[in-house]
Structure 1
């Protein structure tokens, strides 16, 4: 693949995980108001995984995978889709979609420190600034006087944080794991394994299963969008990016998704947006800029240059 085509693919992939995933908070919120959360997620990922394999066969992509690749796919599916997404959708029953997305903005913080602990990776100055801005944005979000929390919403918020941890560890794992060569096929395996886990959870918790034909048209269309765009398109793009760019840069989707989710929640579901939430959104986006920017920080570069000159003199 030539560099120009690769660059375009990377940009389109970032657009997918930034914008499409930003809308999935709203879509999940709509469906989960009518459908049990684990049942919802199992349908979504089974249909998406099945469609991926049908398309892959049409494109004549190899579906072969070694036992190790299958095990890694199953673990990735659990970390991302069963816990990271399935439990997250459950928590949306108790937390507004925009607010939940903003909590998920802590993901880059988890990723950076997990990479430091697990891989000994050096934390870059720009990443530190980005994470600090993320923390400030989160503080502005949760410290609002207008925020009303009850015991159920507190449990929901706590579970969302564990979901973010699961997703963050999964991002680091997949970036190094032995998976099927095709990103498309690897995504399909992860989704099918996840759907099996989720069906088991749904049965274990005794969820009520309702045929999609009994859902409202709003829920049906939301599910279709979740399967095609939130599942097939965005998650394939996510798996591709984890192999092509640094994990901490991929994790910045967690900073952009909340802004999109917050405005969609306000526009479609009449969820409230305060001035402080808008400020928090701006600060979070600044955090993305610092983590993704390739430019050197002028202050640090000048400091280093002056230090070198003094030593030479």
Structure 2
């Protein structure tokens, strides 16, 4: 006889969604605050080293399943794109680009998940409404970039360059996400995630000190502001531990397309917090691009309903 799996309490599911919706959407502003006085690679390195160490320690205490040497090698390789490269670009870009703009650009991830998954990772072929979503997402990003008053059509403009690098980071995150799903890293998903965060954070820290060695400009810890430090604590405990583990848990107990709705809630939260708390201006291009990107994500995460047998 099949055993009936007990569904988690509704309040717990709602709480997990709120953590993913609100906290992940607020991380863009937290990143902007953290890099005000903390070097970007150091900020990201501390964030993922601390979060990875905590998550890994908790899971190893619970499971008693130690990672293998092969698992660590795979975790290191899998951590490079989604953590070291992607967050290295995001944290550095937010020295120049407002957090609200970064949040909208990062909402392009489902576009890449749809295309990259189909073309290179044996994913499902896009349905007609997915193509509409792809077009809307592309148009939304173009409106955001072309209509931003700070953008200059020149690669000499740091602002324009970092906006394009933010768009590149959405691609590196998606490719890295497919690679990091390797089941040979560790049988426990949370342990594997902790290993990858730890490796990614170590690479970011090493990159920061290699850069400092080259330039002679070392981080001055006494110069870090209280706001930057508090933002970094928020990113470690809420952004990387609470929200991320809530996301992984939801992926086990809820339909994937429903969990994916965070992708069109997060940019709304990022824009509102950037405006209300961060003092960021709401330009017309942002107001036009936001609904286009949200509509794109809704179409991209929507699956064709299965026929009843």
Q: TM-score range by the shorter chain?
A: 0.7 to 0.9
Find the aligned partners of 2:211 and 2:260 in 1 and give their Cα distance.
31
Residue aligning to 2:53: 50
Residue aligning to 1:89: 91
Q: How does 1:135-154 map to 2 (within 5 A)?
A: 135-144=138-147, 146-149=149-152, 151-154=157-160
Deviation of 1:242 (Å):
6.4
Deviation of 1:11 (Å):
6.1
Residue aligning to 1:195: 201
**Does 2:295 align with 1:286?**
yes
Find the aligned partners of 1:270 and 1:178 in 2 and give their Cα distance.
45
Deviation of 1:138 (Å):
1.9
1:96–1:271: 8 Å Cα contact kept in structure 2? yes
Deviations 1:79-121 (A, max 9, x none): 2111111221011112111112212222111121111221343
Find the aligned partners of 2:163 and 2:149 in 1 and give their Cα distance.
16
**Does 2:74 align with 1:79?**
no
**How has the CA–CA distance of structure 1 residues 137 and 147 changed in structure 2, closer, same or farther, with 3 Å as cutoff?**
same
TM-score w.r.t. length of structure 1? 0.82
1:107–1:251: 8 Å Cα contact kept in structure 2? no
Find the aligned partners of 1:9 and 1:75 in 2 and give their Cα distance.
34
Residue aligning to 1:131: 134
Residue aligning to 2:265: 256
Q: How does 1:222-233 map to 2 (within 5 A)?
A: 222-233=231-242
Find the aligned partners of 1:193 and 1:142 in 2 and give their Cα distance.
33
**How has the CA–CA distance of structure 1 residues 86 and 3 changed in structure 2, closer, same or farther, with 3 Å as cutoff?**
farther
Work out the number of aligned pairs and report it: 296
**How has the CA–CA distance of structure 1 residues 71 and 267 changed in structure 2, closer, same or farther, with 3 Å as cutoff?**
same
Measured on the aligned residues, the alpha-carbon RMSD in Å equals 3.0
**How has the CA–CA distance of structure 1 residues 77 and 102 changed in structure 2, closer, same or farther, with 3 Å as cutoff?**
same
Deviations 1:255-305 (A, max 9, x none): 4322211111111121111344223222322223323345649xxx9xxxx
Find the aligned partners of 1:293 and 1:8 in 2 and give their Cα distance.
24
2:51–2:240: 8 Å Cα contact kept in structure 1? yes
2:103–2:267: 8 Å Cα contact kept in structure 1? yes
The runs of 5 or more residues in structure 1 that have no matched partner are 302-313
2:114–2:300: 8 Å Cα contact kept in structure 1? no
Residue aligning to 2:26: 23
The runs of 5 or more residues in structure 2 that have no matched partner are none
Residue aligning to 1:209: 219
Residue aligning to 2:243: 234
1:79–1:170: 8 Å Cα contact kept in structure 2? yes
**Does 2:8 align with 1:5?**
yes
